[in-house]
Amino acid sequence: MRVLGVDPGIATTGFAVLDRGGSAPVPVAIGTLRTAARLPHAQRLADLAGGFREVIAEHRPEVVAAERVFFSVNVRTAMAVGQASGVILAAAAAAGIPVFDYTPTEVKLSVAGVGTAPKQQVASMVAALLRLDAPPQPADAADACALAICHLNRSGLARALAAQGASG
Amino acid sequence: MRVLGVDPGIATTGFAVLDRGGSAPVPVAIGTLRTAARLPHAQRLADLAGGFREVIAEHRPEVVAAERVFFSVNVRTAMAVGQASGVILAAAAAAGIPVFDYTPTEVKLSVAGVGTAPKQQVASMVAALLRLDAPPQPADAADACALAICHLNRSGLARALAAQGASG
């Protein structure tokens, strides 16, 4: 399975393409999409959509893992994050790729074993799990990795349970 | 000038295509784009983007008028409105159409003459200005009309001032 984790933002969107490996997920591409601050807001959103479509076309993920709508941010941030998230989700669906979403707590629990783990601890676990020398930079890319790992863990668990159910 | 006013929402997006007339704006198309509640969230956003692209392709507006990001709604609403707004703005920009945005106060002031006018009063003014028998339904469509009228008023004023400056 190939999963594309994504942490949307108008200025910087983190993405991570990971394959399910034998014992650990295998990083295929980790990076960011950036839009130019000098451009009109709507053009930045269009550029973000275009960049994300290119990532999909290049790496052909089977699923997209995104953060579930959350409530702890302020309204101004929520609107901007919502706009970026909207174009990302629409681009994934338009490409026929199912989107799974996870809460921040689910991601932290899955990656670091603790639902309240600080961001730095999650980033360190991402580096360890992907056998990287250091956590991916910037934080948006590390967050995208964590989302993709969370999805691989969850779907691996579901598969194991299904197999156990079939054999038991 | 042909302007496309839009009031984005994931379930219902209002739109209004208006032409600048001699003494009053002329309605070309007023309606809504709806997405199916049974579909996955990301698919609804993709369908919204597709529907909006069809409106653009059919009516070929020169500008899009949208509501400026606002702060008085709650975070959950802001995120959902942001997602819908993001795909709408990105679709407009991808089609090469400039987007102008107006605050709710600017729209009310321009359409009803009072920045604090209640929604019903704005809707009644929309009906009067467009020479309709009744305010457009649902409210999303009336709001889209108000945005388009606001843009026509503003750009008409700017044109008049520019002409006065040139002749004065």
A80 vs chain B: nearest CA distance in angstroms?
Answer: 6
| Average of per-residue pLDDT across B161-167 | 70
Instruction: Give the pLDDT of residue B72.
Output: 56
A22 has a pLDDT exceeding 90: no
Active-site residue, selected from the candidate residues A19, A58, A133, A140: A140
The model's pTM is 0.91
Supply the range of the domain harboring residue B17.
Answer: 2-167
How far apart, in whole angstroms, are the C-alpha atoms of residue B148 and residue B62? 12
Q: What is the 3-state secondary structure (H, E, C) of chain B?
A: CEEEEEECCCCEEEEEEEECCCCCCEEEEEEEEECCCCCCHHHHHHHHHHHHHHHHHHHCCCEEEEECCCCCCCHHHHHHHHHHHHHHHHHHHHCCCCEEEECHHHHHHHHHCCCCCCHHHHHHHHHHHCCCCCCCCCHHHHHHHHHHHHHHHHHHHHHHHHHHHHHC
A15 has a pLDDT exceeding 80: yes
Instruction: Specify the residue for token string 């910037």.
Output: A138
Instruction: Give the pLDDT of residue B103.
Output: 92
Instruction: Give the pLDDT of residue A24.
Output: 86
Cβ pair A141, A15 in contact under 8 A: yes
Q: If DSSP codes are grouped into helix, strand and coil, which group holds residue A131?
A: coil
CATH number at residue B14: 3.30.420.10
| Average of per-residue pLDDT across A78-104 | 94
Q: If DSSP codes are grouped into helix, strand and coil, which group holds residue A138?
A: coil
Q: Which of residues 135-154 of A touch B (CB under 8 A)?
A: none
Q: Which of residues 54-93 of A touch B (CB under 8 A)?
A: 64, 69-76, 78-87, 89-93
Biggest distance spanned by C-alpha atoms of chain A: 60
B12 has a pLDDT exceeding 90: yes
Going by C-beta distance under 8 Å and a sequence separation of 6 or more, which residues neighbour residue A74?
A: B75
Instruction: Give the pLDDT of residue B167.
Output: 58
Q: Is B19 exposed, middle or buried (0-12, 13-18, 19+ CB in 10 A)?
A: middle
Q: Helix H segments across A104-138? A: 104-112, 119-129
Among the partner residues A82, A93, A94, nearest to B80 by beta-carbon distance:
A82
Q: If DSSP codes are grouped into helix, strand and coil, which group holds residue A34?
A: strand
Query: How sure is the predictor about A21, in pLDDT bands with cuts at 50, 70 and 90?
Result: confident
Instruction: Give the pLDDT of residue A73.
Output: 62
Please give the ipTM for the structure prediction. Answer: 0.89
* Domains identified in chain A, total number: 1
A-chain residues near B93 (CB < 8 A): 40, 42-43, 45-46
